[in-house]
């Protein structure tokens, strides 16, 4: 009678059947929404993956140029690191963080806010000023690329974890929750059908017994009527005779 496969331990009633059907409908709706969310996140994940690859390649090229620029500065002016450290009073770059919502997933995004001006404009004034300015711009570009890469890498890792969790939920609903609810519905339906058949058989038996009782009562009534007729018939037969041949007694007034 029960459906094959795992099912919930529930008493088969029509209310339980209605509630289980509502739960199955909700599970199917949730599966559809999670599948759409997974597809949207996967699309964004692939786009970020392409951007991460491009950013890493760009970072390699920029760092190569920055290394060459620093070598030129060192060759032209010598070691200027101590001059830069002495003249640097405040940060030339500031990183601002914002949030981006992608299908309910909050992704952090970093932006570079470059402060205008510089604290070491006089560095390389005697010699190598052009190489210092070029190295400064190349390293500024490297910092911007690095911040962009950090933003993409962070979003990449977050999306990877969310997509895995979403896939686990989708698979659990598709292969565990929905089949279990469907088996439960089959079990309840089969049990209710069996109850209906038993009820129909019981009613049929009751109607048959009532019919037999009515027939027996009718037969008893007919037998009683026949017996009464048989009792009355001899009385009628004994009271008959020749009315003209009999002589009445004289009546004296």
pLDDT over threshold 70, residue 127:
no
Separation between Cα atoms, residue 104 and residue 217, nearest integer Å: 78
pLDDT at 87: 66
pLDDT at 247: 55
220-246 pLDDT per residue, tens? 888 887 877 776 655 555 555 554 555
pLDDT over threshold 60, residue 3:
no
Tokens at 204, concatenated: 């049929």
pLDDT at 253: 47
Tokens at 212, concatenated: 């037999």
Q: Which residues contact 37 (CB under 8 A, 6 or more apart)?
A: 103, 104, 166
**pLDDT (average), residues 164-190:** 92
Q: Is residue 73 a contact partner of residue 80, using CB atoms and an 8 Å limit?
A: yes
22-78 pLDDT per residue, tens? 999 999 999 999 999 999 999 999 999 999 999 889 888 888 888 888 787 777 776
Separation between Cα atoms, residue 64 and residue 72, nearest integer Å: 13
138-157 pLDDT per residue, tens? 888 888 889 899 999 999 99
Separation between Cα atoms, residue 99 and residue 154, nearest integer Å: 12
Q: Is residue 144 a contact partner of residue 40, using CB atoms and an 8 Å limit?
A: no
3-state secondary structure of 243: coil
């Amino acid at each position: 009678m029960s459906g094959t496969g795992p099912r919930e331990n529930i008493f088969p009633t029509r209310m339980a059947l209605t509630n289980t059907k509502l739960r199955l409908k909700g599970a199917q709706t949730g599966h559809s929404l999670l599948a759409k969310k997974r597809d949207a996140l996967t699309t964004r994940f692939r786009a970020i993956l392409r951007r991460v690859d491009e950013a890493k390649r760009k970072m390699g090229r920029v760092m190569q140029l920055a290394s060459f620029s620093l070598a030129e500065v060192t060759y032209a002016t010598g070691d200027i690191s101590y001059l830069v450290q002495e003249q640097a009073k405040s940060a030339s770059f500031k990183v601002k963080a914002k949030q981006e919502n992608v299908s309910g997933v909050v992704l952090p995004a970093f932006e570079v806010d470059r402060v205008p001006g510089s604290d070491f404009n006089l560095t390389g004034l005697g010699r190598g000023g052009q190489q210092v300015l070029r190295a400064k711009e190349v390293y500024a570009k490297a910092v911007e690329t690095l911040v962009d890469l950090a933003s993409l890498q962070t979003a990449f890792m977050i999306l990877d974890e969310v997509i895995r969790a979403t896939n686990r939920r989708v698979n659990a609903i598709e292969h565990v929750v929905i089949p279990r609810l469907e088996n439960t519905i089959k079990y309840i339906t089969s049990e209710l059908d069996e109850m209906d058949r038993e009820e129909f058989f019981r009613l049929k038996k009751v109607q048959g017994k009532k019919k037999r009782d009515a027939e027996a009562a009718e037969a008893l009534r007919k037998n009683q009527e026949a017996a009464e007729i048989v009792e009355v018939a001899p009385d009628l037969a004994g009271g008959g005779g020749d009315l003209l041949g009999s002589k009445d007694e004289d009546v004296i007034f």
